A and B are shown apart, each in its own frame.
Chain A
C-alpha cells in the first residue's frame, strides 16, 4: 500500500530525536551523575558549622550551579558532536538520501539533545531534592535535640516552618525549569554553529563564546545606551540584532534569586518559556537556511 509522503512529519522528527537520544546515552554521558552526586553530598557534609539558612543556601547553590554547568555542557558539547558524528558514521547520508527534509533532521537532532538535557536535569533534580529533603529534616531533628527545654508542638511547628521555608519549596521547580530553558537556548545556538562549522572544536568554542557574551550582553547594552534608554529606531534595531545574535542568558539566571529566598512569578516564567521558544524557532530556522544549502 502506498502512503502519501508528507512534506513535514512530526513522526519522522520524533524518530530522529529518539535515535539521537539513544546515540547520546550510548556515549555514557550519564556518568556525570557520579560527579554530581559527589558534589551535592559533599556540599551537604562539609558545611555543618553554619546556620541552617546558610547551609541550605550553599546546598542549593552548589546543586543549581552544578545542574546549570552540566546542562550547559551537554547542550553545547552534545549538540556540537551530533552532525560531525553523523557525517563520520555516514548516518547522515543514509537519512538524507531518504525523503527526509533537512529541517526535520535538524529538529530531530535538537529534540534529541533537549530530551537528553531534560532527562539529565530530571535525574539531578531528583537527587538534589532528595538530599535537600533529608537535610532539612536532619536540621529540624538537630534543632529539636539541641533545644535546652522540652519542645512544645507549637515550637516544633515554628521550627519546621522556619527551616522548611528555606528548604524544599515548590519554587525550586521554577529554577529547574529555568536551567532547562537556558540549556535549550544554548543547544539551539550550538546547533546553528554546527551547521556551518568545519570542526567540533570550532562549534564548541564559538558556542561558548556566544554563551558568555550572552551573559554579558545586557551589561554591554546598558553601557552603550547609558541609562538603559533606547531612543532612536537605529538604536532599537541594533539592540534587537545584538539580542538575537547573543541571547540574553542572564534572564535565565533566576536561581540566583531563588536560592536567596526571592520569589519569581509564574507569569514571568511563562514569558521566559516564550522567549526560549522564540530563540529555538529563530535558531532552528537560521540553521535550516544554512544547512539546506550545505554540500554534504
Chain B
C-alpha cells in the first residue's frame, strides 16, 4: 500500500539531510507527526520574514527546508528561485553601487552570479521532483535570458519547457525570440519565427519585429552578395516569393541607389498576399525619401496607423509629427500615436 501511495506521489517524503539538519526539533517531530504541510507553511512564513529583512542566507536556508518538506509543491521551488535569482540578485545590484570599485567589482562578479546559480540550482532540484513541470524549466530559461544574457542557454531551456504537456504557447514564442538573438542561427530562427507567423494564429509584436529584422537581414545580405541581374532573375523565377522581391528592392535602394525602381519593387512586396503587414510601413518610409511621393506616403502611413497600428514603432511618431507639420495637416486630422 505504501508503494502504491509513493507511485501516486504521496508518502514520498522522508527527511533528507537538507531538512533534517535545518529543522528545529519541534518542527522535525511535527513534520514526522503528520503536520508536514503545516510545518512547511510555517517555514514559508519565516522565509518571507527573512526576505523582508533581506537576510538572504537565512532565506536560502528556509527555502531549502520548505521545498524539502513539500517537494511536489512547485510554488516552493519557484519562490526559492525568485528569492535567489531576482530578489537577492537585485538587492546586491543596489549594494554594488554603494561601494568602492573593488567591493563593487566583487559583488558584481562573485556575489551576484552566485545568487543566479543558486536560483538555477533550486529549479534543477525542483525538476528532480517535478520533471514535467514546464514552469521550473521556464524559470531557468528566464534567468539565462533576463539575468545572464545568454540566449543560447535560454533558447535550450525555453525549448525544453515548451515541449512539456501543459506549456502555454508563449514559451515556444520565447524560444523563437531567443533564436533571433543567436549568431549563426539565423536560418533556424527564421524557420521557427516564420512558422509561428503563418501557423500559430497568435501574432505578437515581438514576433512581428523579430520576423521583420530577420527578413531585413536576409534581404540585405542577399542584396550585397548578389548582382542586380542575379536578384532580378531570382525575383522573376517561377515559385519566387516576396523575399526575393525584398532582396531586389534592397539592392536597388542601397547598392544601385535607384529610388523609383525600389519603390516600384516594394509596392509589389506590400501587395504580395504572403508578405507581412510591416512591409506597408516600410514602403511608406521609402516613399518618403522621394519628395514627389510625400503625400502618398503620408496617406499610406495614416492607413497603416488605422488598420495595423502595431506595425508602427514608437520612433515613427516623431517622424510622422514632423511630416504632418510640413504638410500642414490640421490638428484634428492628424494621426493619433
Contacts and interface: CB of A to CB of B under 8 A. Distances in A.
Given A53-B75, A57-B73, A256 B1 contact: no
B2 A251 contact: yes
Interface string B31-55: 0111111101100110010000000
A64 B48 CA distance: 22
Interface string A67-108: 011001000000000000000000000000000000000000
Given A257-B10, A260-B70, A251 B5 contact: yes
Nearest to B11: A250
Interface residues of B, number: 28
A192 interface: no
A48 interface: no
Interface in B3-48: 4-5, 8-11, 13-15, 29, 32-38, 40-41, 44-45, 48
A219 interface: yes
10 contacts: A49-B48, A50-B48, A54-B44, A65-B35, A216-B32, A249-B34, A251-B2, A253-B11, A264-B8, A268-B4
B34 A271 contact: no
Contacts of B40: 61
A262 B44 CA distance: 19
B38 A64 contact: yes
Given A58-B41, A58-B45, A253-B36, 16 more contacts: A61-B40, A64-B38, A65-B37, A68-B34, A69-B35, A72-B34, A212-B32, A215-B32, A215-B33, A215-B34, A251-B11, A256-B10, A257-B10, A260-B37, A260-B70, A264-B8
Interface of B is mostly: helix
A232 interface: no
A262 B72 contact: yes
Contacts of A49: 48
B152 to A, nearest CB: 32
B5 A62 contact: no
A259 interface: yes
Interface string A238-262: 0000000000111111111101111
Contact of A254 (B10, B33, B75): B10
Contacts of B10: 254, 256-257, 262, 264, 268
A257 B72 contact: yes
A275 interface: yes
A268 B34 contact: no
A62 B1 contact: no
B26 to A, nearest CB: 13
A64 B2 CA distance: 22
Interface residues of A, number: 45
Contacts of B36: 253, 256
A265 B73 contact: no
A8 to B, nearest CB: 31
Contacts of B41: 57-58, 61-62
A255 B33 CA distance: 13
Contacts of B73: 57, 260-261
Contacts of B13: 256
Contacts, number: 90
A49 B10 CA distance: 29
Interface in A264-296: 264-265, 268, 271-272, 275
A218 interface: yes
Contacts of B35: 65, 68-69
A60 B36 CA distance: 13
Contacts of A216: 32
A250 B34 contact: yes
A19 to B, nearest CB: 31
B2 to A, nearest CB: 6
A228 to B, nearest CB: 8
Contacts of A50: 48
Q: Rank and list the top 3 A-B pairs by shortest CB-CB distance, nearest first.
A: A65-B38, A260-B73, A61-B41
A219 B32 CA distance: 10
A262 B37 contact: no
Contacts of A252: 34
A218 B32 CA distance: 11
A54 B75 contact: yes
A219 B14 contact: yes
A249 B33 CA distance: 8
A219 B8 CA distance: 18
A261 B15 CA distance: 21
A212 B29 contact: yes
A222 interface: yes
A271 B1 contact: yes
Contacts of A60: 37
Interface centre among A216, A257, A259, A275 (most CB of B within 10 A): A257
A286 B144 CA distance: 63
Nearest to A212: B33
A53 to B, nearest CB: 6
A109 interface: no
A230 B82 CA distance: 43
